[in-house]
Amino acid sequence: MSEASANTEFRENQYSKLSKKLRTNVGKAVVDFNMIENNDKLMVCLSGGKDSYTMLDMLIELRKRAPVSFDLLAVNLDQKQPDYPEHILPEYLEALNVPYHVIERDTYSVVTRVIPAGKTMCGLCSRLRRGTLYGFAEENQITKIALGHHRDDILETLFLNMFHGGTLSAMPPWLRSDDGKNIVIRPMAYCREQDIEDYSTYRNFPIIPCNLCGSQENMQRQEMKKMLRDWETRFPGRVENIFRSIQNIKPSQLADRKIYPFSKRNNDDA
């Protein structure tokens, strides 16, 4: 075997192992959190980033093998940033033969008008995006909204909320919206970002950058990402343990009187 074909075979092996690992993690999260039920109509939110492209691949595969029947609708929000390459996603989705819809909503003008120059726009932009997607889901009998957040997004949010918000909370894999009208699922809740990055490189997705608007990704989130990556390198297993810890909470060993009746418990025990 020539060196070139040995390399190709090695790459294909790696790709197939990685796809399997991601499919297994997605399948496990879907089962653990009962994310998909018979006759669900899933709206797959596609931004053009590595996470959402990977999620779509995984859900297409899952749909072929799942014991329940469900439909997928890929939805992209064109926020009218300057130079947004609006042809990329339609061409990609048509080639895949996936039903899709592009919502055109000029949130870019709103965000640039409201946020002073030099400030991060991502907070307001995300809120407007969420409102638009929730509204579309309600109007189109969508039963679940699938978002491409992964394990590392969840942990970054956990530390952001602890360090800057004083709460112990993260991003749940399954969430009913505050008004009760929508259900959000995160099928990649068990997937490592590094695996998604590697998979995306193998797949050569036509990535659309999020910062076409000129804003920078939230700096504090970037700090959390750096911290977690550093821990992953220096202390193997630490990040996995932290993720396990949010699935294994002991309210009696914390100090929140709203979720654990400490004094009542002591009286009962006495």
Q: Nearer Cβ to ligand SF4, position 63 or 130?
A: 130
73 phi and psi angles, rounded to 5 deg: -130, 115
Q: Tell me the closest approach of the beta carbon of residue 211 to ligand SF4, in angstroms.
A: 4
Cβ-closest residue to ligand SF4?
A: 125
Q: Nearer Cβ to ligand SF4, position 40 or 129?
A: 129
Q: Nearer Cβ to ligand SF4, position 35 or 111?
A: 111
Q: Nearer Cβ to ligand SF4, position 183 or 210?
A: 210
CA-CA distance, 148 to 52, in Å (whole number)?
5
Q: Nearer Cβ to ligand SF4, position 211 or 245?
A: 211
CA-CA distance, 87 to 58, in Å (whole number)?
23
Size of the site for ligand SF4 (CB under 6 A): 9
Residue 52 is a binding residue for ligand SF4 (CB under 6 A):
no
User: In what side-by-side order are the strands of the sheet with 144-146?
Assistant: 100-104, 70-78, 40-45, 144-146, 183-185, 174-176
Q: Tell me the closest approach of the beta carbon of residue 104 to ligand SF4, in angstroms.
A: 15
Enumerate residues 6+ apart whose C-beta is below 8 A from 47. 76, 77, 148, 208, 210
Q: Which of residues 194-213 bind ligand SF4 (CB under 6 A)?
A: 210-211, 213
Q: Among 36, 191, 215, 239, indicate the residue that binds ligand SF4 (CB under 6 A).
A: 215
Q: Tell me the closest approach of the beta carbon of residue 81 to ligand SF4, in angstroms.
A: 6
Closest CA to 125 of 52, 206, 217, 46: 217
In the shown chain, the binding pattern of residues 96 to 135 toward ligand SF4, with x for contact by CB under 6 A and - for none, equals ---------------x---------xx--xx---------
Binding site for ligand SF4 (CB under 6 A): 111, 121-122, 125-126, 210-211, 213, 215
